[in-house]
Structure 1
């Protein structure tokens, strides 16, 4: 009998040890997933390749080529204020026989361009003749990962353009309003730019070739992605149109297509584009790079009169006009992954004499609304957000990423932890029972 009790105790201790070992193993795996494996996977993937396209909406644009040549755009050519004055009739013309549209022989005259023409080279048309209003505009952006990228950083290249749909066709240059080719190297976890002079930004003007901006500047602020585990606070955000960094404020929690999202909003302007871009270039290059001239050309207009811009006061007063930029930017971010799942912008660029005049104009909502209807100083007006197809594709990718993090960061560790705890407790209980059985056997032998 004594040998049987001892044997039974040994048999019960083996499965008890197995259960304890299995429980400890499962709990260790669960903890490793939570504290080591999943955090290591919270990095921006190196295969980023995404395209976002906005809805096509009515907007306005100042056609630089028309302004430079003092030639009305096609949409404005028939407006009375945009037509060059006719040449005065020659002395004696219209008198005598045939004055009412008939020739000297009594026949009908045919109007030709062979006679004297009006010399309109000195006739400066109002700026409104060069602004196409209520035209279909849309924006598109492609972001992809490029070198250098490694386990810690990723370089993202974003090609963004604003286009007019009514000019789309065989000539993409004609439809292009403006474009940028932006490159920035960021930390794969925080999404913040590295503290090195690696950022570049190429600016392309509509209808013209692009010029490389001076390269190698240090950038601050988020742009194409937020950090993993995004917080409910303001972040610095870089604006490629003005080369400036400004806060983007947390607005609130919401959902986009069923996915948890934080809403952030940034209100900018009016910002003097000519000054901000000039100052940026001057700060990163030795001297004044000649390439900057072509980049800045469309941001300042000299040698024109107040009357041409529709300004109050003496219409013959010479004015120096600069382009000012305003934008209300809204982005929706999945907090787990930091991925932007939707976005929209309300961009308004206009010309003003100085900062004070720009602030006064933009602060007068009635004047801004009047400018929307009858533009006299608008450079660009574009208000749109991501189209439905872009949202669906982006949401699908964000859902996959969020599901993966949730599965391996919460669900699997929870299951493994529960199973491990059950196994550990079962092993301990079984071991204690086996121990009590062995003690009872020894006591029986002692009584015998």
Structure 2
């Protein structure tokens, strides 16, 4: 009886160990349905073209005292009726060299008057699970914004540079978007209406990598340009003591106006006013080369489009697929065409000059997650990894070893018990035969 108990216990323990490895752990390797995380970057010095100031032809507050940003200087008249600080009010007029009066609309300020440089910028993103989500898929909703710390009001709106609300439904294991037109991306630009969130089919990872991430390149979706591009595996490392794979993606220059226009053209018939309003911030027509600081005839009229570059680095825990750290080097600027954009961006000396004295920069922001975000995210990742390690390796190994020992013990105990029983019965039979054999002849004698 003890042998049967040990054999049964061993078989049970081995079965549980196998079930953990092949059924329980795979069931756990699904993105939780209660995702609700917030990532915030460090505040760093950057630059922003203030769209409202450009649209209103009114130099920003930070640039208002610069000579080239005063109405008199821009109109070419040194003897102006503007105030002594060089900044005229909205209703004031300036006198041109021929004696004619010109209001603010006739003054051609250089674009640098609308670019705030060396200002504190930070980004924040909240990702949460929303419907539709079920046993197989999960829908991420990510609200992301770029903010100015020096302009933040009580409601945070004053410091808003740009924002987006992104929704994508992905497989809970592979993290790949499903092949249905359910993804939406709503853009919010300062001074423009929201873009209509029309559903579309999306390709590429974004907010999470697959469980058991591999050491290879993956497709990655960029929400700023609506494009999918490879993100490359760089190598193994550790982040906060957690195993991680480093991935890096270098983008651009990408023509934002064209990429966003092509995206909406592929999913809708024509543009609604909201889409047109957003597109307007990515293309500037009717201004002169001199206003943009371009070479050649300063009076030449130019058509400028916004170009996007980004060096994105993410650190992924390979077992869980969770992103545990990240940083981006975003630079957006205006150029006449693709060739001119690439030549400008690849001119190292010119880029340093532009950084110090921007003439065509739209956004310059380089930062990574702040310490609090990293600590919270890495703690959660470690907890998930520990759970998977416990149920996927440690517990199955312990149960497996105990099961094998119990099974072997039961078999050995059973074998010994069987051998002992057979020996006892054999001895009794032999003695009986000998007794009978010996009595017969004696009786007959």
Deviations 1:137-168 (A, max 9, x none): 00000000111111011111000000000001
* Residue aligning to 1:136: 120
Structure 2: any 5+ residue segments left out of the alignment? Answer: 81-88, 96-101, 432-445
* Residue aligning to 1:49: 36
> Shift in Å at residue 288 of structure 1?
3.3
Give 1:18-417 correspondences, 5 Å limit.
18-85=5-72, 117-118=94-95, 119=102, 120-213=104-197, 215-417=198-400
Structure 1: any 5+ residue segments left out of the alignment? Answer: 1-13, 91-111
> Shift in Å at residue 207 of structure 1?
4.4
Q: Report the number of matched residues.
A: 413
How far apart in 2 are the matches of 1:263 and 1:421? Answer: 40
> Shift in Å at residue 369 of structure 1?
1.3
Where relative contact order (Cα < 8 A, 6+ residues apart) is larger, the structure is 1
Is the 2:194–2:275 Cα contact (8 Å) retained in structure 1?
A: no
Secondary structure at the aligned position of 1:166 is classed as coil
How far apart in 1 are the matches of 2:233 and 2:130? Answer: 30
Is the 1:146–1:156 Cα contact (8 Å) retained in structure 2?
A: yes
Question: Structure 1 stretch 344-353 or stretch 429-438: which is displaced more?
Answer: 429-438
How far apart in 2 are the matches of 1:136 and 1:197? Answer: 38
Is the 2:226–2:260 Cα contact (8 Å) retained in structure 1?
A: yes
**Pair 1:439–1:369, CA change in 2 (3 A):** same
Secondary structure at the aligned position of 1:181 is classed as strand
Is the 1:27–1:416 Cα contact (8 Å) retained in structure 2?
A: yes
Question: Structure 1 stretch 373-382 or stretch 112-121: which is displaced more?
Answer: 112-121
Secondary structure at the aligned position of 1:172 is classed as coil
> Shift in Å at residue 115 of structure 1?
10
**Pair 1:395–1:115, CA change in 2 (3 A):** closer
Secondary structure at the aligned position of 1:43 is classed as coil
Secondary structure at the aligned position of 1:309 is classed as coil
**Pair 1:136–1:187, CA change in 2 (3 A):** same
Could you tell me the TM-score, scaled by structure 1's length?
A: 0.90
How far apart in 2 are the matches of 1:413 and 1:115? Answer: 81
Secondary structure at the aligned position of 2:291 is classed as helix
> Shift in Å at residue 171 of structure 1?
5.0
How far apart in 2 are the matches of 1:420 and 1:161? Answer: 55
Is the 2:194–2:274 Cα contact (8 Å) retained in structure 1?
A: no
**CA RMSD between the two structures:** 1.8
Deviations 1:57-107 (A, max 9, x none): 0000000111111111111111111111176869xxxxxxxxxxxxxxxxx
**Pair 1:163–1:436, CA change in 2 (3 A):** same
> Shift in Å at residue 170 of structure 1?
2.5
Secondary structure at the aligned position of 2:381 is classed as helix
How far apart in 1 are the matches of 2:341 and 2:425? Answer: 98
Is the 1:350–1:380 Cα contact (8 Å) retained in structure 2?
A: yes
* Residue aligning to 1:427: 410
How far apart in 1 are the matches of 2:270 and 2:354? Answer: 38
Give 1:10-21 correspondences, 5 Å limit.
14-21=1-8
How far apart in 2 are the matches of 1:168 and 1:283? Answer: 37
Deviations 1:295-340 (A, max 9, x none): 1011000001111101111111111000000000000011111010
How far apart in 1 are the matches of 2:338 and 2:90? Answer: 47
**Pair 1:431–1:171, CA change in 2 (3 A):** closer
How far apart in 2 are the matches of 1:126 and 1:209? Answer: 26
Deviations 1:341-365 (A, max 9, x none): 0010000000000000001111111
